[in-house]
Structure 1
Amino acid sequence: MKRPTFASAVAGCIAVAAFVTDQATKALASANAEALAGGLGVFPGFNLVLHRNSGVSFGMLSDVSPFILVALALVIAAWLAVLAFRTERSSDAVGYGLILGGAIGNVADRVRFGGVTDFLDFYIGESHWPAFNLADTAIFFGVMVLLFWPRRHLRGQNEAT
């Protein structure tokens, strides 16, 4: 069996940090449910709200059983954990760790509440982006790291040759 690398340890630490931060902010939002019920303006273009999303991104698949969504997310999380364990590149480890921590954070919500707790509401005028949470943010930035950080690394190699 392969020994854990520095990169896989980085992925694990980032996953734990993303999970803990996500769960702490969701607990804080839930503890202030009454204040957030109608939305709490933070600054123009940003409110704190409390919303439970029984679906996935943008409310899609809201009619699917939460157990199916949990099972699917756990399969994906297991696959990401394997990739994180096998990687030797720190940039990939950061991406996998962010996605893994965010995915497990949303799974925890589905198991406990039957849906994901969302509380970040960005808007322009009357147009609101669907509310989301820090797990979603971690997943987004993890994907961006996997897509673009290696490209920057490869671009540097191409310029050197």
Structure 2
Amino acid sequence: MSDEAKAAGKAAEKAAEKVADKPVEAQVSEPETVATPAIVVDEPDAEKKTEEKPAESPAKAEEDDDEFSISGSISGSLPEPRTKTLAVLAGGVLALDVLTKVVSVAFLEGADPIKLFGGVLYLTFVRNPGAAFGLAEGQTWILALIALGVAGFILWIARNLRSQGWAVGLGLVLGGAVGNLADRLFREPGPMRGHVVDFLSLFDPYGQVWPVFNVADMAIVGGGATIIVLALMRHDYDGTVHKEEPALVVESDGAAEPK
């Protein structure tokens, strides 16, 4: 081979080496130039993101407030039992019932009925061997046992009585039950068989339109009506109020919305 051919071959090899070395340098130098700002710039941003606390939305803050108020109400002290209201009302009904019966025995027994308010109300005198409004005649001893049971039950739940409305209703029932029970225990013809004194009649002097009744009967009916209304309103005697949760309506897309 001639010297010129050898020189041309060596020149070609050097040119090829230069072309092959350029991509390698670019591959080595490029990651260095890109990686250097990633380490210097991005690392503080990552630290900032970890240190910064995301701001809470107003809805989240309101939920936290609700949770605090609920936990506070549960951990706080319960209202005082309404035993004072119960006792005062029951005692007042009992005192008024006994007083009116004593007056009725003294002034109405054996006398003619007294007409009041144009015949709307009559003061008359009846000895009732039955229940309120003349019901269950001849079952005096059973009614006395029922009255004892009602009074005992009311006194038993009074320790947890924290509803003012229930205290009023139960106080009326308790006073009326004890008032009629006293007649059955202490009036003629004997204990557990005594007849209850009734002296109020509506629209007729002898109870032909409405049975003859007394103050205790009115208290029992009024207290019972109060308790029924409170029960329908989902108010319990311990002061709790039960609220119905809104019904969920499932739409065609699967989402549930309150009704």
Q: What TM-score does the superposition give when structure 1 sets the normalisation length?
A: 0.82
Question: How far apart are 1:61 and its partner, in Å?
Answer: 2.6
Matching residue within 168, 176, 179 for 1:105 = 179
> Which residue identity lines up with residue 121 of structure 1 in the other structure?
S
Task: Report what 1:56 is aligned to.
Answer: 131
Q: Do residues 88 (structure 1) and 159 (structure 2) align?
A: no
Correspondence for 2:201: 121
Q: 5+ unaligned residues in a row in structure 2: which ranges?
A: 1-78, 188-193, 236-240, 247-259
Tell me the distance in 2 between the aligned counterparts of 1:152 and 1:76: 23
- The percent of aligned pairs where both chains have the same amino acid is 32
* SS of the residue 1:131 aligns to: coil
Question: Displacement, 1:70?
Answer: 1.7
Corresponding residue for residue 214 of structure 2: 133
Amino acid at match of 1:117: V
Deviation sequence 1:39-67 (CA, Å, 0-9, x none): 11112221000101001134333222x33
Rg larger in structure: 2
Letter in 2 for 1:28: V
Partner SS, residue 82 of structure 2: helix
Q: 1:153 to 1:73 in 2, by over 3 A?
A: closer
Where do residues 2-13 of structure 1 align in structure 2 (5 Å cutoff)? 5-13=80-88
- Matched residue pairs, number? 154
Q: CA deviation at 1:119?
A: 0.5
CA deviations on 1:1-45 (whole Å, 9 max, x unpaired) are: xxx9441211111110110011111111111024x6331111222
The TM-score normalised by the length of structure 2 is: 0.53
Q: Quick one: which amino acid aligns to residue 87 of structure 1?
A: L
For the aligned residue pairs, the C-alpha RMSD in angstroms reads 2.8
Name stretches of at least 5 consecutive residues in structure 1 with no aligned partner. Answer: none
- Quote the Cα distance in structure 2 between the aligned partners of 1:9 and 1:92: 12
Aligned-pair CA distance for 1:103: 0.2
CA distance 1:112–1:83, change in 2 (3 Å): same
CA distance in 2, matches of 1:124, 1:70: 29
- Residues 121, 202 of structure 2: 8 Å contact kept: yes
Structure possessing the higher relative contact order (Cα contacts under 8 Å, 6 or more residues apart): 1
3-state DSSP class of the match of 2:213?
Answer: coil
Query: Partners in 2 of 1:5 and 1:15 — Cα distance?
Result: 19
